[in-house]
Amino acid sequence: MNEKELIEILSSKIKLVRSEFNYNQDEMANILGVSKKTIVQIEKERQLASWTIIVTFASLFRDSTIIQRELGEEDIVYFLQTVARKNIDLKDKQKWMNQSLWKIIDERKGYILQRHVITHYYRIINQLGQRLFSSFYKKSAVRHFNEMVKQDLED
């Protein structure tokens, strides 16, 4: 797949994804940083979205089942990187990034609460490194972490 093919596929999915997340055209335009007129033109298939809009759209809505199903990929950002860069070898870089930029705050019952050392962004991952929750708010991250641990104890 190349950029042009991806643009064609995802341009046709903007309205569906907008509906999936219950946004109106004004809200979608604001999220994507474009005018409502642009959204209307794309949704009516009068124009295709630009590469920049598609990258923004797919990244911000990477949790969309519509996008994931259409592309056959859960990690949409990695998919976008591959389309744009053609080849990616992240095995050594990914290992370094995950180990050195995240401080473990708490670890219980297979859940790990971490804080990014630069951005102070919080995340909860499982033992496989799969992200389960993300937040910029420590209280929210701690609360979710405790709820996950408690739920796991009850099960």
3-state secondary structure of 154: helix
3-state secondary structure of 107: strand
> What whole-number distance in Å separates Cα of residue 111 and Cα of residue 119?
21
- The pLDDT tens digits for 90-108 are 555 555 455 567 889 999 9
Confidence of residue 27 (pLDDT cuts 50, 70, 90): very high
> What whole-number distance in Å separates Cα of residue 148 and Cα of residue 121?
19
Of 56, 32, 55, 36, nearest to 44 (Cα)?
36
> Does the global pTM surpass 0.85?
no
pLDDT at 74: 77
